[in-house]
A and B are shown apart, each in its own frame.
Chain A
Amino acid sequence: MANGTIAAHGTAEVDFYHVKSKHKGLLAWLLTTDHKRIGIMYLSCMTVFFLTAMTFGVLMRLEMLTPGMTIMTAQTYNSLFTLHGVIMIFLFIIPGIPAVFGNFFLPIQIGAMDVQFPRLNLLSWYLYIIGGGLAIFSLFGGGGWVDTGWTFYVPYSVRTTTNVSLSVFAAFVLGFSSILTGLNFITTIHRLRCPGMTFFRMPLFIWSIYATSWIQVLATPVIGITLVLIILERAFGIGVFDPTLGGDPILYQHLFWIYSHPAVYIMILPAMGVVSEIIPTFARKPIFGYVPIAISSLAIALVGYLVWGHHMFSSGISDTSRVIFSLLTFIVALPSGIKVFNWVATLYKGSIVMSAPMLYAMLFIFIFSIGGLTGLVLGALNTDLHVTDTYYVVAHFHYVMFGGMGIIFFASVHYWFPKMFGKMYNEKMAKVAAIIIGVGFNVLYFPMFIMGYMGMPRRYYDYLPEFQIYHLISTVGSWILVSGILIMIANLLSGLRNGSKASSNPWEGTTLEWTVPSPPPLLNFDKIPTVDHGPYEHPEIARRKEEESK
């Protein structure tokens, strides 16, 4: 490690931003192997990608404001929903929490100085940037903006003249970034836990990252192969998927969802981990049911592999397989439900401080519950055949993905902001933003459930007059939501510039990251800590225990 000699110079108290390194300026970032700097680099790039895809979303909603053409042509609209999906899913939702907060806090929470393979970690970041760059570049290359939907379904993706190959290759490169990060985290969790940090003393965030990493390593290669097959099919007409050459379009859907369903859990599990950190911190008591929550993460990861077929109920797969996939889908709903019950039960007899991160977490529980429960309608066989591929599905996955991962990404930024940047944001403003986001979110997405059930198919550039009122409400919701997000970002940026200095433990958190200075020094700890209790033992409770024993 290039920076391994710092402690010897007696500068351990200098935070990782100001520590002297071999390189200066931008190079000190681009060539860093420090997990914290890499986390911050992910955060900045991801913000750009998120805002880009969000803008596409807002433009789409604007187009849907009135029937007929409002601001764009059908071809543009088709490209926008494709790009919105591709960028949000592959560049924000999938890597989001592990790459930013996993990188920054995983080593600190288990009492390590860095991840197991710091250089590999930097390589993952470069792959992420190359993949993201290719996705953006594919917009300007020949052929025009990709217009297949983020699922790249064949035969359409093989036939269209737009720039599919490059976009698909971008997703392929991003897959490697994901695999390497997962590999790095699994190894780190196995090899670098500090003395006394047994598996069942790990914070639940680490458990969720651990389960996620296994999915990343085991499922991502499948999508890699599938995407390469699309490119080969387009370039050479090899005929794996094209029925006119003896291929099978359904095979593509199987391969795609064998990755992309577990990927849904790559997206949501880390968010569940963060919620399990935030709630005990602000309820100021241990989490209710540590073991059930930890195990349910693994259960979700495991059963999540076996339910991909529920994306294909209408594709013509056999009735028997539909019944089996439906049953398994109902079963995979259970661990998520159990987590929600445990989070709510953690509040019981706590001493709750309603700070901004906690407000986001509570918002998450409400929105994610709606997302989860409406998923039951989609898992049920006969109702799915009505609502699949309608706005009902669009509403459902935005409640789960945006309401789950997105809202918790915002919560994580607010929760760990003082630790990452050593500054505080305006707490009141953060709460105002959270409330606006909560209202905007529901106004934007709830009408979609209704029009979906009424029969409004998704990915439609235009609609019948009976749906207009719902589209109108939804578009207004998008304006509210975006205002909330912009206020939130402005507030965070202003905190970054002028915020008051944050103490090492502003929330009275109990996990290891709150024992080191804000921002942490280069090697995180002066001395590798030793752990002798669970992760959420609140000091007040520990104090009382001590008094009682006296």
Chain B
Amino acid sequence: MRPDIATQVDQTFWMITGTSIVLLLIITAAMLYFLFKYSKKRHPVPENIEGNTSIEIVWTVIPVIIVLVMFFISWAGFKNMRDVPKDAMVVKVMGQMWKWSFEYDNKKKSDTLYLPVNRDVKFEIGSIDVNHSFYLPQFRVKEDAIPGRTNYYWIRTNEEGNFYAACAEYCGLNHWNMYAQMVVMPEDKFAVWKNYFPPDTTAVAKTDTLKTTAGAKDTLKTVKDSLKVPAVTKDTTAIKKDTIKK
């Protein structure tokens, strides 16, 4: 079983941050202690210390070891991020000002990212206009969406639920509202959803784009609403209806 990417990121983060807190405490404590102990009042005559080669070597070598350990741990996590499992399901992610759209291997398109639970998913990320960045905060990973090229990363959907994607590379007026809903659902329900093609997908998509590119004032109200993801209902037909409405 491959280690979970998000867990690895959190572990690396706390390893580095923990070490940093210890270092910060040492530095600050030493500084405050010296300021107190060697104040002019308590220590009127300064001593002539110009340096010490062995201590310089010590506080060069120890940090070298510390940062190399940090580097290798983060490298291991990174290798896992880049090494996509062979059987991963591929979803094409396309960014545009200011919405995300997703395309599945059977050409099914959607503005909401529906995924089956317990699957490895590879995102192939592109953009049709300016730079964006496809960021899944709850999965601790992002990669930029650059016009003219395809970037990728993968995640594993460990549990059912509602998540979101955000744009993390500044892309103009409504950059702040370029969210997409992400719903992780049971495999069978996902299969039903994926294989159902609503008759008028293109027409719906058009009006949708118009709405999203409207002025800032209109979209203001919808920020919070847009992330109220339709619940993963047990009834598959409800999901279908939902999709059609969208």
Contact = CB atoms under 8 A, between A and B. Distances in A.
B84 to A, nearest CB: 12
Contact of A351 (B24, B45, B68, B81): B45
B148 A248 contact: yes
B144 A316 contact: yes
A457 B49 contact: no
A330 B147 contact: no
A515 interface: no
A323 B138 contact: no
Contacts of B140: 385-386
Given A383-B16, A541-B48, A68 B220 contact: yes
A347 B28 CA distance: 12
A531 B104 CA distance: 75
A389 interface: yes
B39 A249 contact: no
B156 to A, nearest CB: 15
Contacts of A348: 34, 38, 49
Contacts of A68: 220, 223
A381 B78 contact: yes
A330 B67 contact: yes
Contacts of B92: none
B120 interface: no
A453 interface: yes
A351 B166 contact: no
Interface in B31-72: 31, 34-35, 38-40, 43-52, 55-56, 59-60, 63-64, 67-68, 70-71
Given A291-B51, A382-B12, A455-B166, A330 B68 contact: yes
A375 B42 CA distance: 37
Contact of B144 (A69, A315, A544): A315
B170 interface: yes
A12 B231 CA distance: 83
A383 B9 contact: yes
Given A288-B50, A383-B12, A334 B67 contact: yes
A347 B38 contact: yes
A244 B170 CA distance: 20
Contacts of A314: 133, 142-144, 168-169
B232 interface: no
Interface string A356-389: 0000001001100110011011001111011011
B13 A377 contact: yes
B216 A74 contact: yes
B147 A244 contact: yes
A199 interface: no
Interface stretch (B108-116, B174-182, B200-208, B235-243): B174-182
Interface residues of B, number: 83
A159 B129 contact: yes
B177 to A, nearest CB: 7
A174 to B, nearest CB: 22
A366 B68 CA distance: 24
Contacts of B59: 337-338, 341
B130 interface: yes
A386 B9 CA distance: 8
A250 B56 CA distance: 40
B23 interface: yes
B166 to A, nearest CB: 5
B162 to A, nearest CB: 13
A462 B56 CA distance: 48
Contacts of B35: 347, 352, 354, 362
A340 interface: yes
Nearest to A82: B170
B56 A386 contact: no
Nearest to A349: B47
Q: In this complex, which of B9, B49, B52, B217 has the most chain A Cβ atoms within 10 angstroms of its Cβ?
A: B49
Interface in B68-105: 68, 70-71, 73-75, 77-78, 80-82
A387 B135 CA distance: 10
B229 interface: no
B172 interface: yes
A344 B8 CA distance: 35
Nearest to B136: A455
A443 interface: no
B54 to A, nearest CB: 12
Contacts of B184: none
Contacts of A386: 9, 13, 137, 140-142
Interface string B214-226: 0011001001100
Contacts of B75: 323, 326, 381
Contacts of B82: 319
Nearest to B36: A352
Contacts of A160: 172
Interface string A412-447: 000000000000000000000000000000000000
Contacts of B209: none
Interface stretch (A18-26, A104-112, A212-220, A278-286): A278-286
14 contacts: A153-B169, A160-B172, A244-B147, A284-B46, A314-B133, A326-B71, A326-B74, A330-B68, A365-B27, A377-B16, A382-B8, A457-B167, A461-B175, A464-B227
